[in-house]
Amino acid sequence: MIKQAVIVAGGLGSRFGDKTKLMPKGFIEIEGVPMVERSVQKLIQAGIEEIIIGTGHCSEYYDKLAEKYHVIKTVRNDNYANTSSMGTLEVCVPYIKGDFLLLESDLIYDSVGLKVLQNDSHSNVILASGKSNSHDEVYLAADENCVLLNVSKNKECIPNPAGELVGISKISKSCLDKMMEYYKSSPDLIKLDYESALCEASIHQGENVYVHKVEYYAWSEIDDESMLHRALTQIWPRIKENEEIHSIRREVLLNPGPATTSDSVKYAQVQSDICPRESEFGDLMEWCATELTRLVADPEEYTTVMFGCSGTGADEAMVSSVVPEDGKVLVIDNGSYGNRMAKMAAVHKLDFDVFESSTYEPIDLNKLEEVLKSKKYTHLVGVYHETTTGLLNPIKEICSLAKKYGLVTIFDAVSAYAGIPMDLKDIGVDFISSTSNKNIQGMAGIGFVICKKSALEATKNIPIRNFYLNLWAQYEYFQKTHQTRFTPPVQTFYALRQAIIETKVETVEKRAERYTACWKILVECVKKLGLEMLVKEENQSHLITAILEPKSPRYSFEKLHNFAKKEQFTIYPGKLGNINTFRIANIGDIQPEEMKVFCNHLETFMSVLSSGDELNLKK
């Protein structure tokens, strides 16, 4: 799996004249977005974890871009004026850890080219196209096995080209080393470009560099005004059309998980078959676990244990694994999920009491403390965000009370994790659960528990009362083997990896802001329509809103659901015994503009409801 990309962007771009005097060429905009930024977005969508940009001329533009995309690392080639792309690649070398993609900065291209290189089984591959008629062609010569033999701008040197150089290549670490060795072998090579070094590595250094030609590939280098014009009028429309063909019909899920996912997360599942006991897959799982931990804690002190299961599975893993035989548990129940935790405690025959509290009003912390004082509890179980109602429990206050009485703290954070910034150490929580399909915005299938390592260690001698879901066994086995004990959901892991990359790019803080922006639009609409919310605004999570059903006798949840569904919005009924609500969640890959569209539909629905007209449910 290719994890890094390098963009060589040191050049002066002098063929553009004044336009690029004060700006790098990569920042020329295509429909309002700099072409290098479009390239960065495509690389992220293709699963690249880190993008190293070798800069030079006007490097501050790239440093600024790196502030916007945390996956970018910039390295400046101070000698950019006297060197060429090898000089810029050279400054990037210390940061290149393995096989990588190498790109030029002044390209527009169809992202399928990245897939072609990622899927090619060879480790050194140059992407090539058929005739571009760009008048700036770089021709590639290759032997009958497609191994690179020569690179030249001069057609006469290459009478029967194997293709034209696009400017996107896949390069192995060993090939890079040989390219560098050659580059440094003589001061005369100071202005060497990377394609010539690749050619040298292929011909004389025993690295087979393959030319992979895609005949009608949509791409363009943009070196001057006429190329820009040609790119905008002829190439860009083709790239956009291809992207449209590959986009998946949008359904916006306003149910509380599984949440809406990006197309890149959906596509990340499509990978070569792999046995999950291969070390490559172990590395992938290990990376996921570490990054999941890092979002909320220091991986030195906390660890993530993963299972193939839903969020409830992760809850059950905690409840059934961490309480010793003589432990005594207090379970806070103020909604369906707290209630579910109590049921698990009962099934696993724990010694436990339930602290019941209103499903829509904040917990009375004084009362909770009274109870904690009254008996010798060892463990406290609670729910951070009660998805039943959208009530957010004050986890930090609850945990500090529990810690005051020496309890181990266990929280279901399934629908809070990655949607609300949190620091487990600061909160004082020992175990939290979540799942791949909520705010982390991946596919359903992986439940995980983030554990304080010392608290997890303390469970290792507890007589086992579960089998598949045992936290310690799963942790210990993974530490030893880099494997899960039983078959993991392989494709869901690839999607989770992509979802984590996208979460890191967005950041949890910004994600929480986006969710809140969606929630505000909804709340405003609900108030305007005279509908009532179950939970007071100040106690809500901003992630889901429980709305009391309209009083009109003509209302039914099914009608509203079907009306919204035909507009590609999926909503969810309420879950409280005697109070009828419908719930609108705003987690997942959704934008405020989409929430506005949904609100317009809700307004239409409500006005039809009061006017007495029939709802037109046909599309």
Ligand X SMILES: *Cc1c(COP(=O)(O)O)cnc(C)c1O
Which range binds ligand X by CB under 6 A, 66-74, 359-367, 379-387, 608-616?
A: 379-387
Q: Which of 51, 383, 450, 456 binds ligand X (CB under 6 A)?
A: 383
Q: Which of helix, strand or coil describes residue 76?
A: strand
Handedness of CA 579, 547, 446, 243 (dihedral sign): positive
387 contributes a contact to ligand X by CB under 6 A: yes
Which range binds ligand X by CB under 6 A, 28-36, 63-71, 149-157, 409-417?
A: 409-417
Q: 424-443 mask for ligand X (x: CB under 6 A)?
A: -----------x--------
Q: Which of helix, strand or coil describes residue 385?
A: strand
CB-nearer residue toward ligand X: 150 or 336: 336
Minimum gap (Å) between residue 379 Cβ and ligand X: 18
Minimum gap (Å) between residue 371 Cβ and ligand X: 22
Residue corresponding to tokens 């809070």 = 416
Per CB under 6 A, contacts with ligand X among 212-271 are: 256-257
| Distance separating alpha carbons of residues 82 and 72, to the nearest angstrom | 25
| Distance separating alpha carbons of residues 463 and 325, to the nearest angstrom | 8
414 contributes a contact to ligand X by CB under 6 A: yes
312 contributes a contact to ligand X by CB under 6 A: yes
CB-nearer residue toward ligand X: 209 or 342: 342
* Rg, C-alpha atoms of the chain: 28
Query: Closest Cα to residue 331, out of 412, 424, 426, 452?
Result: 412
CB-nearer residue toward ligand X: 108 or 309: 309
CB-nearer residue toward ligand X: 276 or 338: 338
In degrees, rounded to 5, the angle at the alpha carbon of residue 557 between the alpha carbons of residues 313 and 552 is 145
Which range binds ligand X by CB under 6 A, 23-31, 42-50, 97-105, 305-313?
A: 305-313
Q: Which of 183, 307, 337, 417 binds ligand X (CB under 6 A)?
A: 337
Residue count at the site for ligand X (CB under 6 A)? 14
Q: Which of 50, 106, 137, 412 binds ligand X (CB under 6 A)?
A: 412
Which range binds ligand X by CB under 6 A, 175-183, 229-237, 242-250, 407-415?
A: 407-415
Minimum gap (Å) between residue 329 Cβ and ligand X: 17
| Distance separating alpha carbons of residues 242 and 180, to the nearest angstrom | 37
169 contributes a contact to ligand X by CB under 6 A: no
Q: Which of 26, 161, 308, 311 binds ligand X (CB under 6 A)?
A: 311
Minimum gap (Å) between residue 313 Cβ and ligand X: 7
Minimum gap (Å) between residue 489 Cβ and ligand X: 13
Minimum gap (Å) between residue 286 Cβ and ligand X: 23
Does a cis peptide bond (omega within 30 degrees of 0) precede residue 258?
yes
DSSP string of 398-450, one letter each residue: HHHHHHHTT-EEEEE-TTTTTTS---HHHHT-SEEEEETTSTT---S-EEEEE
Minimum gap (Å) between residue 298 Cβ and ligand X: 25
Residue 130, C-beta contacts closer than 8 angstroms, at least 6 positions apart: 163, 164, 213, 214, 215, 216, 217
310 Ramachandran zone, left/alpha/beta (phi>0; psi -120 to 50): beta
Both tokens assigned to 186: 């003589």
| Distance separating alpha carbons of residues 577 and 359, to the nearest angstrom | 11
Helix axis angle for 365-374 and 395-404, nearest 10°, is 20
310 contributes a contact to ligand X by CB under 6 A: yes
Which range binds ligand X by CB under 6 A, 59-67, 280-288, 382-390, 525-533?
A: 382-390
On whether the CB atoms of residues 502 and 301 are closer than 8 A, the answer is no
Minimum gap (Å) between residue 330 Cβ and ligand X: 18
Instruction: Provide the binding-site residues for ligand X, judged by CB under 6 A.
Output: 256-257, 310-312, 315, 337, 383, 385, 387, 412, 414-415, 435
